[in-house]
Amino acid sequence: MRGTDETSGSLFCYVDLEERIPARHPLRKIRQVVNDALASLDAEFAPLYVDFGRPSIAPERLIRASLIQILFSVRSERQLMEQMQYNLMFRWFVGLGIDDPVWVATVFTKNRDRLLTTDMSRKVMAAILAHREVAPLLSDEHFSVDGTLIKAWASMKSFQPKAEGTPPDDEGPDDLPTPSIGPDNQTTQSQSEPETEPMPHSNHYNRNAEVDFKGEKRSNATHASTTDPEARLYKKSPGTGATLCFMGHALMENRHGLIVQGDLTQADGHAERRAALDMVHRHSPGSTRRLTLGADKGYDAAQFVSDLRKACVTPHVAQKSRYSAIDGRTTRHQGYALSIKHRKRIEEAFGWAKTVGGMAQAVYRGVERVRSRFVLTMAANNLARLPRLLRN
């Protein structure tokens, strides 16, 4: 018998979101780890809020919503709020009931910006890695480090010459005119008034005009972006074009390729080595246990290798063809070849962050905001790999 295609409204509806999610869905394990990690951070959340006033969005829900946005490549907070209206899985992961109202996008953004700083993103990553099921997966001896370019939210047309500083003896717009001394030693006001220049006519039909930069010399010393002044013009390899970008850094443990530290800085030729030292010291402060650190040829610098040895870290850095700071004392050991082999897995995390996590181009401006997002994206990358690792 053929069924009828009729829609009948229901006065009451009983929907259990827990039953709607398949038992073997990978988000179940991710949600369990995230909830345990956020429960351990309860003492960190308490000082951020006062005991009076209108309740804000719960910090646990803010973080879970930010993670689900990264995991499912939702491009904006406005689209995230829209999808949470009808996506039961998103509601279940964040912690909203079927009848709970979804937040306004601007309210969610303001609350998230106050909570998810770089420090909080690092605490979330550390809490996930310290989970009782995740901690046994980590290596505490062998690590790899690398950096990648994150395109800034600024176009090359915004890279304009820096404004020259105003001379100290110039009059500002609010300064009084300098009185002049007449022949009879009496103060007289200048009678000449500056000519009024006509206001330039703005052409609204040519806002995105073509610009030819050929033959123009531009550098970070003389130019800056008007859209994001903290972005830097940089290229990582010869033969490629320079772009306005930041530089993201990651420290990976070599056993399962999980990211244990993340950072983001302005792009320059020494940023990778400085960030590598900072991440090593942040992950193992004052460690006297011998560690190994794998890296590519960009880290083969005498000062960097010397700093690693002083920090009780064996530099498993790929050798340059000439003037390498790595000699036979390091390369003769079998562990050196293993580190060179495993260090390439860090590119998988960078690739995931750019294709899935939305970090191919930053959607925020300023080093601090982009850094907090980059660190949280590295934590989301670890979460995406946990269901398969914990099932084995």
pLDDT digits (tens, 9 = 90+) for 338-364: 999 999 999 999 999 999 999 999 999
d(CA 119, CA 115): 10
Domain ranges of the chain: 17-115, 139-156+230-378
- Per DSSP, 325 falls in state S
Name the percent of the chain in helix, strand, coil, to the closest 5: 40, 15, 45
Ranges of beta strands (E only) in the chain are 142-151, 159-161, 180-181, 187-188, 223-225, 232-234, 243-253, 259-266, 291-295, 313-317
Predicted local distance difference test score (pLDDT) of residue 173? 39
Share of the chain above pLDDT 70, in %: 85
And the tokens for 280?
């090593």
Question: Would you state the torsion angle of the CA atoms of residues 92, 93, 99, 101, taken in this order, to the nearest 10 degrees?
Answer: -170
| pTM of the full structure | 0.85
* Low-confidence residues in the chain, pLDDT < 50: 166-194, 199
Predicted local distance difference test score (pLDDT) of residue 15? 77
For tokens 């991710």, the residue is: 30
Predicted local distance difference test score (pLDDT) of residue 313? 93
CATH (residue range 139-156+230-378): 3.30.420.10
Predicted local distance difference test score (pLDDT) of residue 22? 93
